[in-house]
Amino acid sequence: MSTKISVVCVAVALAGCIDPGTDVEVDGAPKIASNGLVPTAIHPNNLNTKVLTGPNIASTGGMEDTTAHQIFTSYLVACALGPNQCVTSKYLNVNYTYCGAINLAPAWTTRVLSLAETREVSACVLARANLTGTAITISIRGDNVNLSTTPDEASNYNVEEAAFYGDIFTTTADAKHACNGVDQVRVGDTYGDLPYRQCGQPDPNNPGYSPCGFAFDGNCADICVVNGDHYSSCTDAGGANHGNVETVRLYGTAP
């Protein structure tokens, strides 16, 4: 039986508990995750060039200065660290504890992120963004061993919504990318949880971008290399190739 942990940002001194709704399966394949991160809370920062410690979180601009940024930090740490890892940061005399779950960069607590880890963690955070902040359970697939699937997950989450890749840490424009998954293209916002996931499809009011402000590169099937139930790499609209791609599948099987 799967076990779930709530990956939360907990203020244990003067404040209450900040819960981003990030329940994650920890049955050996921890990548079933609810997502409700508002895209505007994702902001460039240089935390990837520092060791992930409490003082470094507190001293990195914008990581904890609003509730939205605290929730963003909790998603960031949840993607990077494992379920037995937590980091406590003191900000304005309040202690916040951020715990891991998906385990994409567990060594971040002892060294800076590598380029591959930066992209892997970035893709995870982008995959968990949701335009309205609605928490939808998703399955994140990718080449990373910590994104391997359980039999139950593989049989129950078969709606391909989108793929995400890029770099959330850099200030370079259009560094956050998405492409449209085959089921989203085929059936549109007409099945299951697809209507509640908007970050991987084109914004008709802003060509070249998704409604979440990510650079939109087209249909994944046209620009990405398939590896089983996910994509390994994708070529963006400018011709650059991206690895460390993470594919989101939703519950059900699209008609």
Rg (CA), the chain: 17
Tokens found for residue 103: 């385990």
Tokens found for residue 40: 């505007």
Strand 94-99 and strand 136-141: the pairing is unpaired
| Residue type present at position 113 | L
**Tens of each residue's pLDDT in the chain, 255 residues:** 222 223 333 333 323 333 433 443 333 333 555 567 899 999 899 999 999 999 999 999 889 999 989 999 999 999 999 999 999 999 999 999 999 999 999 999 999 999 999 999 999 999 999 998 888 899 999 999 999 998 999 999 999 999 999 999 999 999 999 999 999 999 999 999 999 999 999 999 999 999 999 999 999 999 999 999 999 999 999 999 999 999 999 999 999
pLDDT attached to residue 34: 59
Q: Are 18 and 70 in contact (CB under 8 A)?
A: yes
pLDDT attached to residue 132: 87
Domain coordinates of the chain in residue numbers?
4-250
pLDDT attached to residue 33: 55
Could you give the maximum distance between any two Cα atoms of the chain, in Å?
A: 53
